[in-house]
Amino acid sequence: MKKIIISSLIICFGFHMSFGQNTDTLFIKSKFKGNIDEYFVKNLRLSTEQLIHGYKGKSIISFRINEKGVLDSIEALYYSDIEFGRKVTKLVGKTKNMWMPTIQNGDTIAYRYKLIVEDFAYPEETSGKDLSLSCKEDAEKLLKNKQYQSALVAISASISLTPYRAEYYLIRSKCYKLLENPENAEKDYHTYKSLEREIVGEII
């Protein structure tokens, strides 16, 4: 029987924000000239062996877009394996002249961004469901049933597995609020707002 392969690519694009940075200034982040999701889907390929046997790769790339909109610095912050890290870093490097400059208060500025790329394939026998999404769904059900502490545990598991999804922090903020923990509720809400600003999108 022929195996059915489930293959997915997740791309998250955000900028690095240091604590204390003024988020009230007019900030327009750099934009890719085209569709960055389609760029990676087209150019990042898994090997036949990886597709057959299953594979999960992740890489976090830091890069700077200067005031002219040119990518002039790149660094791999994390990679699940060297080969996957090299592939992603090379593809990011090829986008050197494919960005619009960052604008703050009407002026173009140099700014450092992060790109998170995940690629995975599952054979038919293996479930490809995102575990963090399963925990999030559990948390939402528990919230409806007013099981706030259990919901907090479930959504915290989601955040541990996938810490860059904004909606998870919004749900946990709600849990903390219902558990009368305003300090942590406010902290998670601020994280939610920051990620909403940073992350461009995901492809699953």
pLDDT reported for residue 201: 47
**What is the pTM for the complete model shown?**
0.64
What is the three-class DSSP state of 68? Answer: coil
Reported as a pLDDT band with limits 50, 70 and 90, residue 53 is confident
pLDDT for residue 128: 46
User: Residue 163 to residues 16, 24, 167, 183, 191: CA-CA distances in angstroms?
Assistant: 14, 24, 10, 19, 10
Domain 6-128 matches domain 131-192 at the CATH topology level: no
CATH superfamily of 131-192: Tetratricopeptide repeat domain (1.25.40.10)
Report which DSSP code applies to 32.
Answer: B
Identify the bridge partners of residue 15 per DSSP, sorted by sequence position.
113
CATH dotted code for 6-128: 3.30.1150
Cβ-contact 63, 76 below 8 angstroms: no
Contact 29, 111 (CB under 8 A): yes
For range 36-53, the mean pLDDT: 82
Q: Please, which pLDDT band fits residue 196 given cuts at 50, 70 and 90?
A: confident
Give the CA angle between residues 122, 14, 157 to the nearest 5°.
55
Q: Between these two residues, 29 and 76, which has the higher pLDDT value?
A: 76
Taking the domains of the chain in order of start, what are their residue ranges? 6-128, 131-192
For residue 163, what pLDDT band results from cuts at 50, 70 and 90? confident
77 pLDDT tier (thresholds 50, 70, 90): confident
19 — pLDDT class (breaks 50, 70, 90): very low
- With a pLDDT cut of 90, the percent of the chain lying above it is 46
Q: 64: which strand partners?
A: 73, 112
Task: Please report which confidence band the pLDDT of residue 13 belongs to, taking 50, 70 and 90 as the band edges.
Answer: low
- Residues 6 or more apart in contact with residue 122 via CB below 8 angstroms: 5, 6, 7, 54, 128
- Other CB atoms closer than 10 Å to residue 81's CB: what's the count? 13
* pLDDT, the chain, mean: 82
Top mean pLDDT of 3-7, 15-19, 130-134 is at: 130-134
Q: What mean pLDDT is predicted for residues 42-68?
A: 84
What whole-number distance in Å separates Cα of residue 142 and Cα of residue 178?
Answer: 12
Mean pLDDT value of segment 80-106: 92
DSSP for 96-148? TT-BPPEEETTEEE-EEEEEEEEEEEE-TTS----HHHHHHHHHHHHHHTT-H
